[in-house]
Amino acid sequence: MPPSFRVTGGRPLSGTIRPAGNKNAALPILAATLLADGPCRIDNVPRIRDVETLLALLQHVGAAVQWHGTNTVEVDTSRAEPKSLDPALSKEIRASILLAGPMLARFGRVTLPPPGGDVIGRRRVDTHFLALERLGADVTVGDAYTLEGKLKGADIFLDEPSVTGTENALMAAVRASGTTVLRNAASEPHVQDLARFLVSLGAAIDGIGSNTLTIEGRPALTAAPHTVGPDHIEIGSFIGLAAVTGGAITIDGVRGDDLRSTLLAFERLGVRPRLEGTKLIVDADQERRIRPDLGGHVPKLEDGPWPAFPADLMSIAIVVATQCEGLLLVFEKLFESRLFFVDKLIGMGARIVLCDPHRAVIAGPSALRGQSVESPDIRAGMAMLLAALAAQGDSVIHNIGQIERGYEHIDERLRALGAQIERNDGTMERGKGRT
Are the folds of 4-20+230-424 and 23-227 the same?
yes
Q: Residue 429: its pLDDT value, please? A: 37
Q: Which CATH superfamily is domain 23-227 in?
A: Enolpyruvate transferase domain (3.65.10.10)
Q: Residue 115: its pLDDT value, please? A: 74
Q: Answer with the residue of higher pLDDT: 120 or 248.
A: 248
1-23 residue pLDDT tens: 789 999 999 999 999 999 999 99
**Whether the Cβ atoms of residue 426 and residue 6 lie closer than 8 Å to each other:** no
Query: Whole-prediction pTM value?
Result: 0.92
**Whether the Cβ atoms of residue 72 and residue 3 lie closer than 8 Å to each other:** no
Nearest to 270 by CA among 331, 346, 322, 338: 322
Q: Where are the beta strands (DSSP E) in 226-380?
A: 226-227, 248-252, 274-276, 279-282, 300-302, 326-331, 351-356, 359-364, 372-374
Q: Does domain 4-20+230-424 have CATH number 3.40.50.10860?
A: no
* Domain spans, the chain: 4-20+230-424, 23-227
Q: Residue 114: its pLDDT value, please? A: 80
Q: Residue 1: its pLDDT value, please? A: 75
Percent helix, strand and coil across the chain, each rounded to 5? 35, 25, 40
Q: Residue 92: its pLDDT value, please? A: 86
Q: Averaged over 125-154, what is the pLDDT?
A: 92
Q: Residue 426: its pLDDT value, please? A: 62
Amino acid of residue 312:
D
Q: Residue 118: its pLDDT value, please? A: 41
357-400 residue pLDDT tens: 999 999 999 999 999 998 888 899 999 999 999 999 999 999 99
Burial 302-311 (b: 16+ CB within 10 A, else e): bbebbeebbb
Q: Is the pLDDT of residue 335 over 90?
A: no
The lowest-confidence range among 15-19, 271-275, 400-404, 415-419 is 400-404
Percent of the chain scoring above 70 in pLDDT: 96
Q: Averaged over 68-92, what is the pLDDT?
A: 93
The 3-state secondary structure of 321-334, one letter per residue:
HHCCEEEEEEECCC
Residue 138: active-site member: no
Residues 174, 179: Cα–Cα separation, whole Å: 9
* Residue 306 C-beta-side C-alpha neighbours within 13 Å: 24
Task: Point out the catalytic residue in the list 50, 118, 303, 312.
Answer: 118
Average pLDDT of the chain?
Answer: 93
pLDDT-based confidence at 427, cuts 50/70/90?
very low
Q: From residue 1, give the alpha-carbon distance in Å to each of 4, 8, 215, 331, 337.
A: 9, 21, 50, 37, 28
Q: Which residues, 6 or more positions from 66, have their beta carbon under 8 angstroms from its beta carbon?
A: 73, 74
94-129 residue pLDDT tens: 889 999 999 999 999 999 888 764 433 345 688 999
Q: From residue 296, give the alpha-carbon distance in Å to each of 272, 292, 317.
A: 21, 5, 21
- Strand, helix or coil for residue 156: strand
Q: Is the pLDDT of residue 44 over 90?
A: yes
